[in-house]
Amino acid sequence: MRDGRLIWHSAAESKRGLNREKPRCLRWLYAGVALVCCCSILQSGSRAAPPARDASDLPNAAQEAPPTFDRDIRPILAAKCLKCHGETGRKGDLDLRTAAGIAKGGESGSIVEPGNPDESLLYEKVHDGSMPPDKKDRLSETDVAMIRRWIEAGAATDGESADSPAPTVGEHDVLPILLRRCAVCHGASQREAGLDLRSRAGLLRGGKSGPAIVPGQPEESLLIQRIRSAEMPPIKELIEVSIKPIEPAEIETIAAWIARGAPEANEEPDVATTIPDPAVTDQERDFWSFRPPVAAATLVVRQTNRVRNPVDAFILAKLEERGLTLAPEADRSTLHRRLCFDLTGLPPEPAQIEAFLADTKPDAYERLVERLLDSPRYGERWGRHWLDLAGYADSEGKREQDLPRPSAYRYRDYVIRAFNDDKPYDRFLLEQIAGDELADYEHAPEITPELYDNLVATGFLRMAPDPTWYNLTNFVPDRVDVIADEIDVLGSSVMGLTMKCARCHSHKFDPLPHRDYYRLVAVFKGAFDEYDWMKSTWNNGLSHGPRSDRDLPYVTTAERRQWESHNAALQKAIEALQVPLDELAATLTKQYQAQRIEKLPAELREDVRAMLAEPADKRTPVQQYLAEKFEKSLTIDRAELANLDADFKKRGDEASQAIASMQGKKLPEPRIRALWDRGDPSPTYIYRRGDYLTPARLVGPGVPSVLTDGKTPLDVRPPWPGAKSTGRRLAFARWLTQPDQPLTSRVMVNRIWKHHFGTGLVKTLDNFGKTGTPPTHPELLDYLATQFTARGWSIKAMHRLLVTSATYRQSSVVTLEASRIDPDNAFVSRMPLQRLSAEQLYDALLLVSGRLDETRFGPADAVDVRADGLATPRGTERGWRRGIYISQQRKVVVTHFENFDFPAMNPNCGERRDSTVTLQALHLWNNGVVQQLADSFAGRIEREAAASTSRQIERIYLTAFGRTPNDDEVQVAEDALVRLTGKWLASAPGAAPPDRAAAAHQALVTLCHAILNSAEFLYVD
């Protein structure tokens, strides 16, 4: 016995099945049937209307008399629904004012299935209480029951007829079918048989066998004939191009359209116009984060002596309201360590500390800030934050065979350099979103570093996990998933919007219509086209191997020349060996041949010589006879020559070895992993419920309406005269980087704030929408955002402003009062105690132990995996490079990184976790590399402070903690060293003579190991 819920479930499941599996044409059939039913009910309803009866006549009158639209349904809808689905708003693309609007349905398709309330979205929504969204507006049980009975009875709409014409099969029912089943071979990139099936014009033009369709005569049309005979699409070859077989219903849809005369659709893509947008209201535009930031007047505070810059005033004002103030300034050693880790990701070196502590000038701190911002280490720290947002990875992911991305590192290097150069953030975004449309690279006489950067930067939207290099995971839905991930990366990292929520339906909480998601998809269509897909095939690192479709050869002219001359030099050296060898071989061959000819009967010798001298096709019949008889035995190949001549063999082998080794040194052609517009994109349809099998309205490029006035079209134009590129992304990027764009500057300054202060002013870094948290200091956020744009989008200017504030220079000590009034530190009554990130810890371990190789940039360092799964970066001759340079494969995560919360990029990471788990303790305590580094650390201390153990202890503290130890600490450590030395001596194998020096070293190693495991090493005050 099934209960009501189960019935509901089964209905929902069958509906899900219907929407998932039935292509658009079938829905049309259903809709048609539904409408016919609807009309017949209407008619029968009007003809056989029961005589009006008093309800009291029959006890069950309520059950028997079907509700009527005008009397029973329209008032309910008017009272509860029209606010959003009527006059002023058109949420979900739904207009509930008229019968026609109800029949048309909304973005999720039809909302009423006459006779079947359990399959009707309208009923489902009001029944499960998800509509109306505001609880207090919910329909009463009586109203819900009324709607149910109305639908059960056929959903008649009384006298009002559905005034939209019955749906017919149109061009836009057919084109999506051709796109998904045929265009891969007869489309943009391939034109098999000269045929382009992506448009009506292309169908009429046809290919080498003539027009593909004969309007009005489906069975005469080649297209239909070839499909019906199962000749096309060729079923057994479909898998090679990742296409699923065409469905019978799809064939009938195409045939029906041709039968109607293959009419052209007069439908322009839906884009923003100058008419106000009914889908988003001005009230919604009034939400705080959708309004441009406005610089507030600096606030007045009592403790002006604590105000170093305007940031402090904003913070102090809130603190003073609560009877709090800033914590005292931290001591200089603490500040130095904090600033170094924060700006460069590494601890201060002893010499720097001593210099800073000795610098008594008033601007010592400010000059320290400048030094650190100028350090090349800065980009390695702050670039990493950006790589998290981009979802940087050195492999494709999603498949068992996790193919490497051998040139992804160029994007990583680009990001590091951009931060080091303080590239203005607006330019940084322009390059990453539309670098290929900034300047013509194809016809440039020279690829300058700027052109190169433009292209490398577009790697930003090439980072998502991507299985589409493989046929079986390269179907349209797989591609659409990749596109969705890239839109998610863009939305979450740059726009602070949960755009991805609008992929299947309009956003539930934010004013982001379903349509706006697909307008954004259309912006990217020239580069991400699921019907003309560029596979992420793999460049295997060989110059002649398979290559990614997504690579461009436009490295800088300088790099290309360097590569060419590198390989040319090798080629020259190879030829230098090859040519004399070939000459020798020719000479020897002649000699041995002559000897063999001498063995022939004398009378034949001359004729044979003449035959050999003559090219095969010019020989006389006699010579041909001779050739057949003797040529084979007189021909000596290299192998035979080597057998005949030991000296030649020796020289040949030596040369071959040398040549092979030089061939191995040749470098593959340098290439860039990039995103570029190829022009001629496929049309963009809204995918109902995110499913490519249910395409709905045609849309064009656009930006989220809520971030505009709703009546300004996106200004799309070709980026330069004659450009192939559509210019859509450039138009989008220019809009995104307008100074008054409400989100771009706010989202970025909030991230910068978060990395300095531990928590964002808006805590939800990726979400500035309604479900995000509102800013704790809205005026400060807007002050920073406006400063950011006013200072030319300079990120370093923001660092200067923030780290020189008194707020940043506070101590991290928590007072009782602060913990009571500001327990979460939401008002920044102190600096937070921060744990080092995975990379900070890794890099710091290497630096203090003197094993950090600061070689920058270039291909990623490999990771070795031990049989038990321990993954360790492979070292260099000098030690190990910084964590940012380690290969980031998705399926091989360095164990240290995994344990310390390095994120999996699915597709990116807006904010890292900060966990304390046992595996971290096990790692630092037992891992062999950490042991080894403790040994190196001790060795460094012995070299740098040989004089005494107290000097050594001071040096350890200075190196590891950035401060000098107090007397107690020295005492404890000295005592530990004495006792440890004794223990190591005692533990030495009995027979060996006691080695005091070795034991003292071991004791120091043990102390260093404890230091590297200590909380003070791991946390920054």
Partner 1 sequence: MSTDPIPRRSFFEQMVGGLYGASLAYLLGRDLYGDEAQHAAPVFDLRPKPPPHEPRAKAVIHLFMNGGPSQMDLFDPKPLLDKLHGTQHYEKIAGEIENLKDAGAIMRSPFKFAQHGQSGMWVSDAMPQLARQVDEIAFIRSMHTTNLTHEPAIYLIQSGKMGPGRPALGSWVIYGLGSESQNLPAYVVLDDPLGLPINGIENWQAGFLPPLYQGTRFRSTGSPVLNLRPDVERPGEIVAFERDLLSRLDQAHKVRRPGQPRLEARIASYELAARMQLAATDALDLSQETQATQEAYGINKPPTESYGRRCLIARRLIERGVRFVQLYINAQIWDNHTGLATDLKAACDRTDQPIAALLDDLKQRGLMDDTLVIWGGEFGRLPIAQLPPDKDEKKAGRDHNKNAFTTWMAGAGIKAGTVHGATDELGFAAVENKVSVPDWHATILHLLGLSHEELYLEQNGLKERLTGVSPARVVTEILA
**Span near partner 1 by CB under 8 A; candidates 382-390, 555-563, 646-654, 904-912:** 904-912
Among 187, 383, 435, 772, binds partner 1 (CB under 8 A): 772
Residue carrying structure tokens 């270039």: 858
Asked if 1010 touches partner 1 (CB under 8 A), the answer is: yes
Among 983, 994, 995, 996, binds partner 1 (CB under 8 A): 983
Asked if 913 touches partner 1 (CB under 8 A), the answer is: yes
Task: Fill in the per-residue mask, 434 to 473: x = in contact with partner 1 (CB under 8 A), - = not in contact.
Answer: -------------------------------x-x----xx
Among 9, 878, 943, 996, binds partner 1 (CB under 8 A): 9
The residues pairing with 685 across neighbouring beta strands, listed in sequence order, are: 698
Residue carrying structure tokens 């979460």: 824
Among 178, 495, 1009, 1020, binds partner 1 (CB under 8 A): 1009
Residue 119 CB, nearest distance to partner 1 (Å)? Answer: 13
Q: Interface residues for partner 1 in 247-286 (CB under 8 A)?
A: 247
Closer residue to partner 1, CB minimum distance, 342 or 422: 342
Length of the chain: 1021
CA-wise closest residue to 153 among 254, 237, 71, 38:
38
Which pair of tokens denotes residue 158?
Answer: 């009384």
Residue 880 and residue 862: Cα distance in Å, rounded? Answer: 11
Residue 797 CB, nearest distance to partner 1 (Å)? Answer: 27
**Span near partner 1 by CB under 8 A; candidates 160-168, 447-455, 535-543, 971-979:** 971-979
Distance of CA 828 to the CA centre of its chain: 33
Asked if 7 touches partner 1 (CB under 8 A), the answer is: no
Among 183, 938, 1018, 1020, binds partner 1 (CB under 8 A): 1018
Q: Cβ–Cβ contacts within 10 Å for residue 399, how many?
A: 18
Among 914, 943, 948, 978, binds partner 1 (CB under 8 A): 914
Among 927, 950, 970, 998, binds partner 1 (CB under 8 A): 927
Asked if 119 touches partner 1 (CB under 8 A), the answer is: no
Residue 74 and residue 69: Cα distance in Å, rounded? Answer: 6
Asked if 951 touches partner 1 (CB under 8 A), the answer is: no
User: Parallel, antiparallel, or unpaired: how do β-strands 695-699 and 684-687 relate?
Assistant: antiparallel
Asked if 978 touches partner 1 (CB under 8 A), the answer is: no
Closer residue to partner 1, CB minimum distance, 285 or 923: 923
Asked if 202 touches partner 1 (CB under 8 A), the answer is: no
In order, the DSSP letters of 615-656 are -GGG--HHHHHHIIIIIHHH---HHHHHHH-HHHHHHHHHHH
**Span near partner 1 by CB under 8 A; candidates 47-55, 344-352, 558-566, 887-895:** 887-895
Cis ω before 513 (30° cut-off from 0): no
The residues pairing with 395 across neighbouring beta strands, listed in sequence order, are: 404
Q: For residue 749, report the phi and psi dihedrals to the nearest 5 degrees.
A: -65, -30
**Span near partner 1 by CB under 8 A; candidates 83-91, 208-216, 680-688, 908-916:** 908-916
Closer residue to partner 1, CB minimum distance, 499 or 780: 499
Residue 825 and residue 815: Cα distance in Å, rounded? Answer: 11
Q: Interface residues for partner 1 in 989-1008 (CB under 8 A)?
A: 1006-1007
Q: Interface residues for partner 1 in 371-400 (CB under 8 A)?
A: 397-400
**Span near partner 1 by CB under 8 A; candidates 56-64, 176-184, 235-243, 878-886:** 235-243
Helix (H) or strand (E) holding 590, with range, is helix 557-598
Helix (H) or strand (E) holding 145, with range, is helix 141-152
**Span near partner 1 by CB under 8 A; candidates 179-187, 274-282, 332-340, 923-931:** 923-931
Residue 772 CB, nearest distance to partner 1 (Å)? Answer: 7
Q: Interface residues for partner 1 in 16-35 (CB under 8 A)?
A: 16
Which residues contact residue 52 at a Cβ distance below 8 angstroms, ignoring those fewer than 6 apart? none
Q: Is 836 exposed, middle or buried (0-12, 13-18, 19+ CB in 10 A)?
A: buried
Helix (H, G, I), strand (E, B) or coil at 907: coil
Asked if 367 touches partner 1 (CB under 8 A), the answer is: no
Task: Fill in the per-residue mask, 777 to 816: x = in contact with partner 1 (CB under 8 A), - = not in contact.
Answer: -----------------------------------xxx-x
Closer residue to partner 1, CB minimum distance, 740 or 824: 824
Buried b (16+ CB within 10 A) or exposed e, 787-800: bbbeeebbbbbbbb
Question: What dihedral do alpha carbons 961, 965, 969, 971 form, nearest 10°?
Answer: 140
Q: Interface residues for partner 1 in 639-698 (CB under 8 A)?
A: none
Using CA of residue 355, residue 358, residue 361, residue 366, what is the dihedral sign?
Answer: positive
**Span near partner 1 by CB under 8 A; candidates 62-70, 232-240, 404-412, 584-592:** 232-240
CA-wise closest residue to 1003 among 971, 966, 973:
973
Asked if 931 touches partner 1 (CB under 8 A), the answer is: yes
Among 571, 593, 764, 950, binds partner 1 (CB under 8 A): 764
Residue 754 CB, nearest distance to partner 1 (Å)? Answer: 11
Closer residue to partner 1, CB minimum distance, 368 or 977: 977
Closer residue to partner 1, CB minimum distance, 216 or 823: 823
Helix (H, G, I), strand (E, B) or coil at 672: strand
Residue 777 and residue 763: Cα distance in Å, rounded? Answer: 11
Asked if 542 touches partner 1 (CB under 8 A), the answer is: no
Asked if 508 touches partner 1 (CB under 8 A), the answer is: yes
Among 833, 970, 985, 998, binds partner 1 (CB under 8 A): 833
CA-wise closest residue to 704 among 283, 279, 286:
279
Query: Total number of residues binding partner 1 (CB under 8 A)?
Result: 93
Q: Interface residues for partner 1 in 479-498 (CB under 8 A)?
A: 481, 498
In 664-764, the DSSP E strands lie at: 672-673, 684-687, 695-699
Closer residue to partner 1, CB minimum distance, 143 or 530: 530
Asked if 355 touches partner 1 (CB under 8 A), the answer is: no
In order, the DSSP letters of 15-63 are HHHHHHHS-HHHHHHHHHHHHHHHHHHHHHHHHTPPPP--GGGSTTHHH
Q: Cβ–Cβ contacts within 10 Å for residue 193, how many?
A: 12
Asked if 891 touches partner 1 (CB under 8 A), the answer is: yes
On the CB side of 964, CA atoms within 13 Å amount to 9
Residue 755 CB, nearest distance to partner 1 (Å)? Answer: 14
CA-wise closest residue to 254 among 180, 178, 198, 174:
174
Among 587, 620, 948, 1014, binds partner 1 (CB under 8 A): 1014
Closer residue to partner 1, CB minimum distance, 407 or 776: 776
On whether the CB atoms of residues 419 and 379 are closer than 8 A, the answer is yes
